[in-house]
Amino acid sequence: MRDETTVAMAPRAQLSNPRAPRRGVPFPLLGALLAAALGCAAAEGTTAADAPLLGFDAPTTDGRVAMANLEAALRAITPRLDASNARDGLRRRALDQHLLRHQVLAHPADLAAADALASTFEGPGRAAAEAAVQDARHEWDAALAALPDASREAESIALARGADPGPIIDARRARVERAPAFATWLALAAALNAAGRYDDADLAYREALAAYGGISPFPVAFVQFARGVMWAERAGRPERARPLYEEAVRRSPLYTVAQVHLAELEAEAGELAAAIARLEDARAASPDPEAPGLLGELVADDARAAALVAEARASYDALLRTHRLAYADHATEFFLGPGADAARALRLAEENLANRDTERARDLAIRAARAAGDGARACTLAAPYTRGERPVRTAPLAHTLRLSGCAPW
């Protein structure tokens, strides 16, 4: 998630000691990515869910087939983009396909390609294209500068940055009443999730699934993943999350962040062999640094563990140079953990907090300050919650506050 409240196409996580929500593409991209996903679906290779808890049992295209279709579509469209008669509509289709592939495979090359494409737009759609990429990179100040204040995209960015979800819930509920559909239910679910109304949010997510009429597996996988993040990493109910993560990767086996989240739960349950195998597969499929970082904490061989951590560190160093705000949260977690650099973690956590003042960002910054030995800074960061100025809506933040030593916690 992009963030911890919005559906990553879709959240911006935690286990017993909270971990970050991964790079979920923020809700403003939902319409574009859904369109791209639907365009790359094929009828063959369908699958079906078998657990009523999941809320969706319709067949969808096999996830590997759908990804092959998406990649074929990109190969077909890319040569046409250089033609003198290329239109912005064609460019936008390619841009959305790159963002969709990035959401599944977590490959930064797709972000770079989308960024380059946005700069080639010639008509009035350029600002919206650039805002979509800036949104995916979590460069929200720049994105907002290009968006109308009253747009739904600007509303979603506000939610991702920690705005009061109450008015947003009201607006989105009204939209559901006017036009109940996949997108409107999904938007409402994200706002209810942000408000800590987890049962209501889960119902809205399931209503979104009930309204989904496509055969692409990606929207279904993204919604199930978002539900899993909500239960495991906001509500503190990982037992409710596991079947949702399992369904997300069943629908889309190459969905990198879902594979990593599921591996975390497997490791926490003592299923180390399964977790390691899953992370090895994720590492082979994607250059995302979270898989090698977590593997470095799980493998028994010290030399291999050190090599994996070094691999993750080098990847984060590179990503922070090119997509700093998109990776600041996840890099903070790494440097608090196997990366073993609390001072750097605190610097990154402060940058992340300046960009989005959410419970997740506060939680991460408080933990980083404590790890860096700066208890005073930790209590300053905790103050809006310890003074009762803000409600504590997430289990991970409550856990961090209890450990912080900051009165009255």
Percent of the chain with pLDDT strictly greater than 70: 87
Instruction: Please check whether residue 215 is in contact with residue 33, taking contact to mean a CB–CB distance below 8 angstroms.
Output: no
The answer to whether the peptide bond before residue 289 is cis (omega within 30 degrees of 0) is no
The residue-averaged pLDDT of 187-215 equals 97
pLDDT tens per residue, range 123-145:
889 999 999 999 999 999 999 99
pLDDT tens per residue, range 382-398:
999 999 999 999 999 99
DSSP structure class, residue 47: B
Q: Which residues are within 8 A (CB) of 215 and not within 5 positions of it... i.e. 6 or more apart?
A: 41, 42, 43, 46, 59, 60, 61
The full DSSP string for 230-283 is HHHHTSS-HHHHHHHHHHHHHH-TT-HHHHHHHHHHHHHTT-HHHHHHHHHHHH
Domains of the chain: 27-269 (1.25.40.10), 341-409 (no CATH)
Question: Rounded to an integer, what distance in angstroms lies between the CA atom of residue 314 and that of residue 395?
Answer: 32
Residue 8 has pLDDT above 60, yes or no: no
CA-based Rg of the chain, rounded to a whole angstrom?
A: 20
| Closest CA relative to residue 252, chosen from 132, 73, 100 | 100
| pTM of the predicted structure, to 2 decimals | 0.89
Q: So what's the pLDDT on residue 320?
A: 98
The residue-averaged pLDDT of 97-120 equals 96
Token duo for residue 120: 């080639």
Burial of 239 (0-12, 13-18, 19+ CB in 10 A): exposed
The HSE-up count of residue 62 (CA atoms within 13 Å, CB side) is 5
Token duo for residue 93: 């289709």
Token duo for residue 215: 């055969």
Average pLDDT, rounded, for the chain: 89
Sign of the torsion formed by the C-alpha atoms of 237, 238, 239 and 241: positive
